[in-house]
Structure 1
Amino acid sequence: MGLSGLRVSELGLGTATWGTTTSATNAGTMLRDFVDAGGNLVDSSPVYAEGQAQETLAAALSDSGVRREELVLSSSAGVAPQSPVGRRVDCSRRALISQLDATLSALGTDHLDLWSVGYFDEKTPPAEVSDTLDWAIRTGRTRYAGVRDYTGWQLAVTAGEMSRFSARGIVATQHEYSLLVRGIEEEMIPAARHLGVGVIAAAPLAQGLLTGRFRDGVPRTARAEVHPLLGLKSHTVVEAVTTAAAGLDLPPAVVALAWVRDRPGVTSAVAGASNPEQLRQLLRATEAVLPRAIAQALDDVSR
């Protein structure tokens, strides 16, 4: 992960639906299948499923037979979607530590492997955020520190503050990145590369659009996040992914995931699945090889 010694799998397991559309039983099966396939990075957050996701992850870890040391557990703090508007982002030392301790309790572990600040807080000095991240490492609550949804300059400022008083720098930055959402290529990925920070690509399937399931329209049951991505461009990209998948005899989701996995600067791509069958399909990306010509064609059509 970046210039650190932290080893993570190229594909990460997302847990955003755990405790809601993903049952505890299925979660345990998925965790076992993921580890058996060589995966270790498991992404969580106290905001997923209003906290149910982390409780479900703890139960899955207990019931699946997967050992804690087999996983790189990643979580975040600083965002509370249920709070009133204007108070949903709080990255003060007080709020971050409170969420971190709650996360450790919910997961039933004494430490995280990667703990990230979930959003840039204009009301909290970067020095305070950096000092809190360093404190969490020094006290053993996490092994490494990261950020999520930062811009390039926000990452640079925070990383710079942390380097002033600590040798324990920021090792990861996590952002949405897919064939339909490529904004981080302009600033974030070059900044991360310059700073020696690894990039974790979130939502590489664009909330399910790149699976090809919505080619005939989005059903009412689909998550609301999908709708802003709909349009002529998304239709063109989805058709290109589907065509490439047919030629490679692979599911469209595997093609879209493999494209992100292979992008310059990306350390790991985190994808979620609702059930074991969906996950087993996505895990085919661990062995899928995307020919350079197809990767380039998808690159061109999605720009």
Structure 2
Amino acid sequence: MEHRPVGSSGLTTSALGLGTLHWGADTDEHEAGEILEVFLDAGGTTVDTTAGIGAGEEVLGALVGSTVPREALTIVAKAGVDGELSSPRVDVSRGRLMASLDRSLRRLGTDHVDLWLVQAWSPHVPLAETLSALQWAQRTGRARYVGVSNYSGWQTARAATLEPDLVATSVEWSLVARGPEREVEPAALALGLGVLAWSPLGRGVLTGKYRVGTPADSRAAAAHLSSFVSPHLTSGARRVVEAVVTAADGLGCSPQALALAWLLDKDVVASAVTGPRTAAQLRGALPALDVELPEQIVGVLDEVSDPLAR
């Protein structure tokens, strides 16, 4: 698997990152261990965790040392949001962030994370206070690198101006969520930040699984995840999915491989963080690393998804 620099920093990530948001709930520890083994065998290193939502940190912590040595992983951790996906609570105060990181380290069974991200912007806490927690994390060795997540373009620029050690930003980005191209992408390029793109498969819709209904074992059918998927079950997104399926058929690859390849073609993307619930789903995504998209196909995909980039 290709390993990419994160912006202009010395940190590198695997082109595909492994999300753990559903570990411990929709994915049990046994399945998570198999997913991690498949990921490592493919050359992956970057594992993305989220404090306060789900049990991904605990499950990963149980696997580190038994399934994989700590030094084989690039662990990305986040703080500042907790609760349910449908109604998250944001607290990016210095004290809350510091306490959250220490809890994350205990759950992960390590003394440091490779990249620590503030997961959300808040108008209720001074930005300088939030960033001071990132400075503390680096100064004490708890985090090797720091960044932000889910910031708009101007918020990213403001944060990087106040804290020049930022190396990354993490945003949702896919063929059905092209909003980052308006401001975040140019801001990241100008500031030397790498982008970790989450939900690169459009919360699952770009696999094509929802074309003729809602599978019983899908996220959209789960009560605790249906509201997470529904924003991308629109007529506009359906047109994009049909174009992806048609192009994938023509190229002889899966829709998910094509959708991931489209995103990985973007220079600013350091890692596309996908969250498979099973090892089989991960195996279906790995061929994206070998897909080369003709310019004509990229042009068609860009055109049909253009309204979602505005």
TM-score norm. by structure 1 comes to 0.93
8 Å contact from structure 2 (residues 49, 77) kept in 1: yes
Deviation at 1:214, TM superposition (A): 0.5
CA displacement 1:66-90 (0-9 Å, x = unmatched): 211111100111112269x8x9211
Residue 198 of structure 1 corresponds to which residue in structure 2?
A: 194
Q: What is the identity, as a one-letter code, of the residue corresponding to 1:122?
A: P
Give the Cα separation in 1 of the matches to 2:143 and 2:195: 18
Structure 1 distance, partners of 2:274, 2:149, is: 16
The equivalent residue for 1:47 is 52
Distance 2:102 2:154 in 1: 29
How far apart, CA to CA, are the structure 1 residues paired with 2:53 and 2:43?
24
| Equivalent in 53, 58, 63 of residue 60 of structure 1 | 63
Which residue in 1 is equivalent to 2:78? 76
Q: Distance in 1 between matches of 2:64 and 2:259?
A: 28
How is 1:93-242 mapped onto 2 (pairs within 5 angstroms)? Answer: 93-163=94-164, 169-219=165-215, 221-222=221-222, 223-224=225-226, 225-242=228-245
Q: Deviations over 1:128-150 (max 9, x none)?
A: 12221011001000000010000
Please name the residue that 2:3 is paired with.
none
CA distance in 1, matches of 2:138, 2:74: 15
Paired residues of 1:44 and 1:73 also in contact (CA < 8 A): yes
TM-score (norm: length of structure 2): 0.91
Pick from 8, 17, 20: which aligns with 2:22? 17
Alpha-carbon contact 1:25-1:60 (below 8 Å) kept = no
Q: Which moved more, 1:198-207 or 1:291-300?
A: 291-300
1:141-194 deviation line (CA, Å, top 9, x unaligned): 00000100001111111111123xxxxx10000000010011110011101111
What residue number does 2:34 align with?
29
Matched residues in 2 for 1:46 and 1:171: separation? 20
Sequence identity (%): 46
Please give the alpha-carbon distance, in whole angstroms, between the structure 2 residues aligned to 1:5 and 1:144.
9
In the alignment, the residues of structure 1 paired with residue 84 and residue 39 of structure 2 have an alpha-carbon distance, to the nearest angstrom, of 31
Of 273, 277, 282, 2:280 maps to 277
Aligned to 1:166: none
Distance 2:287 2:53 in 1: 25
Counterpart residue type for residue 260 of structure 1: L
In structure 2, distance between residues paired with 1:136 and 1:9: 23
Residues paired across the two proteins, number: 293
What are structure 2's unaligned runs of at least 5 residues? 1-5
Contact 2:94–2:133 under 8 Å retained in 1: yes
Q: Is the 8 A contact 1:116 1:146 kept in 2?
A: yes
2:206 partner letter: L
Question: Who is 1:298 aligned against?
Answer: 301
Deviation, structure 1 residue 21 = 1.5
Distance in 1 between residues matched to 2:150 and 2:57, nearest whole Å: 20
**Structure 1: unaligned runs, 5 residues or longer:** 164-168
User: 1: CA distance between counterparts of 2:144 and 2:177?
Assistant: 30
Alignment check: 8 A CA contact 1:45 1:77 kept = yes
RMSD: 1.6
> Residue type matched to 2:8 in 1?
L
